[in-house]
Amino acid sequence: QLQLQESGPGLVKPSETLSLSCTVSGDSISTSNYYWGWIRQPPGKGLDWIGYIFYSGSTYYNPSLKSRVTISADTSKNQFSLKLASVTAADTALYYCAGSWGDGAFDIWGRGALVTVSS
């Protein structure tokens, strides 16, 4: 059974880089046709797509975040990661990693990791 688990610091200072990892268990992140994505949700608000990495390594980012976002994969650890640079309080959110086989409709989600941006 495919499972995802986010990990990383829960507190990041303004102007620094937010870094999160998502460990995948139950299948390889290199399996054909998988999309591995990051979605965030500010407290009390809706869902905001950050980006995804395709099984082949191609990446796609939300245009509004593209200049600050990097998503990468480490096949040796079966993980994919998110880096968001130059964070502000507006980046405070629950960050979810998610997976989709084939199309980008995410059918498997992690439990989420709360990241607060504060000095």
Binding residues for other proteins, per CB under 8 A? Answer: 37, 39, 46-49, 52, 60, 62-63, 96, 98, 100, 103-107, 109-112
Task: State the DSSP string of 2-14.
Answer: -EEEEES-SEE-T
- CA dist 92 and 100 (Å) reads 25
Nearer to other proteins, 1 or 118 (CB): 1
CB 14, min distance to other proteins, A: 26
Smallest CA-to-CA distance from 19 within 106, 95, 76 is with 95
* Helices assigned H by DSSP within 74-116: none
Nearer to other proteins, 47 or 89 (CB): 47
CA 112, distance to chain mean position in Å, is: 9
* Structure-token pair, residue 97: 């990693």
Nearer to other proteins, 31 or 75 (CB): 31
**Radius of gyration (C-alpha) of the chain in whole angstroms:** 13
* Structure-token pair, residue 41: 């949700």
CB 3, min distance to other proteins, A: 12
CB 81, min distance to other proteins, A: 19
Nearer to other proteins, 29 or 110 (CB): 110
CB 40, min distance to other proteins, A: 11
